[in-house]
Structure 1
Amino acid sequence: MKVAWLTVGAGVAFGMNFVILDQIPTEAKLWPLVLGRVAATVIVLAAALATANLARIRGVPLRLALLAGVLDAVATVTSLLALQASLLSLAGVLIALYPAATVLLAIVVLRERVTSWQAIGMVLALSAVALITAG
């Protein structure tokens, strides 16, 4: 049950993030994202210090973390540009489907198996996107 509540909380937070990003005027450029990253860094460092999970990483884990950071930054910038260029109702739904890439990579790279309920959920999500774009 705890995982379900955490998932709902994450979904609400992502949704609110899209709504707030949509309100940012185009003239602000990428500064809201810079400030958001600074705030996120402070929160993560505080949480790592508070839970004694702050550790120095080197080698492959460091390179993978840097790659993940670059990909995250690119995704965030393109998300902001999409929200500025189109309707929140369309861009928000499409952006919110980003976990599909994670699932696809887990299936292909890690050879994870998808349950029938997960497959049904994916089909329903893709159907919803098709219905929204058909409009």
Structure 2
Amino acid sequence: MMTTGGEASALALLAAAVWGTSDFCGGLVTRRSTPAVVLMIAHGLGLLALLAVLLVHPSGLPTRHTLVFGLVAGLAGGIGLLALYKGLSMGSMGLVAALSGVLTAAMPVVVSFFTEARPSILKFAGFAVAGVAIWLIAYTPGAEAHPHGLGLAVLAGVCFGFLLVFLHVAGRDSVLWALTFSRVGSVSCAVVLWIWTARKWRRQGATDAAKGRWPSILPLAAVAGILDTTGNLLYTASSLTGRLDVAAVLSSLYPAGTIVLAAGLLRERATRSQTVGMTLAIVAVAMISA
């Protein structure tokens, strides 16, 4: 029979796989449109899915605790996405992705260190190995790093870290309501970004083709949004079943799933460092889950 810790680790790894698939779909559809449109569709449909679940399985009225921390989690995630997209556009994609990924995992570990029982030495060593794995998996050599891009990477990583922390806190009373209010917060950020982008299009006289055709991007954006919401659900369940730091670090290995899908479906070859990183990820999982 699987122990509570084993169940929590399994949920976190499943969240990583789902998030990795979501990012793969989101990356494909973003090639056809702008991040603003994709983000608004994906997170908007995720919100509708959560509202539908609440209609079928009512969870009572949300507490003020869930509402506040859920909204803050969503706003942190939305701001993090905006910072990440901007940072990735500044010519230092490899460093931006790697730095934000490591910080995403590190923030909950720091919070958990002061709020929960200290992890064992083996788990703590596993966190360190996982951090190296995330860096190697996410990093790809690119253009010279832009200082502002790295600053945005730090902002994105800190915001994503707070997203994981606040989802854990908000989910203590009701996981479904916590995820719903989180999506309200992120959709608000997406709408603001879309309005800003639309105004930019009008000033530049962009054509409809530049804006992307909604029917062509809707299916993949919908899949990305539903999967991202599912990943949030699995992560939150994992953090509440076990330890916050374990759930955050294991679920932050999601870039490995994106790379595996890219290799299998798009025939993209993983770099040597990414292969080493995925090997280290397996070692880290064993150490953390022991």
TM-score (norm 2): 0.42
- Offset at 1:8? 4.4
Identify the residue that residue 23 of structure 1 maps to in structure 2. 169
Q: Which residue number in structure 2 is paired with residue 59 of structure 1?
A: 215
Aligned counterpart, 1:73: 229
1:126 is matched with which residue? 282
Match of 2:257 in 1: 101
Deviates more, 1:77-86 or 1:14-23: 14-23
How far, CA to CA, are the matches of 2:220 and 2:171 in structure 1? 34
1:24 CA displacement: 2.7
3-state DSSP class of the match of 1:112?
Answer: coil
Report the secondary structure of 1:26's partner residue: coil
Structure 1 runs not aligned, ≥5 long: none
Bigger Rg, which one: 2
Which residue of the partner structure matches residue 273 of structure 2? 117
Alpha-carbon distance, 1:41 to partner? 1.0
2:188 to 42, 47, 66: 42
Residue identity opposite 1:46 in structure 2: V
CA shift for structure 1 position 102 = 0.9
Q: Closer, same or farther in 2 for the Cα pair 1:125/1:13, shift >3 Å?
A: farther
Cα 1:25/1:119, change in 2 over 3 Å:
closer
Task: Look up the match of 2:247.
Answer: 91
Mapped contact 1:93–1:129 kept (Cα < 8 A):
no
Cα offset, 1:29, TM superposition: 3.2
Structure 2 distance, partners of 1:29, 1:117, is 37
Q: CA 1:9 to 1:114, structure 2 compared with 1: closer, same or farther past 3 Å? A: farther
SS in 1 for 2:173: helix
- The letter for the 2-side match of 1:98 is Y
Report how far residue 110 of structure 1 moved: 0.7
**Identical aligned residues as a percent:** 37
Runs of 4+ that moved beyond 6 A:
none
Pair 89,33 (structure 1): closer, same or farther in 2 beyond 3 Å: same
C-alpha spacing 1:9/1:106, structure 2 compared with 1 (3 Å): farther
Query: Shift of residue 96 of structure 1?
Result: 1.0
**Distance between the aligned counterparts of 2:280 and 2:235, measured in 1?**
23
Kept in 2: contact 1:83–1:91 (CA 8 A) = yes
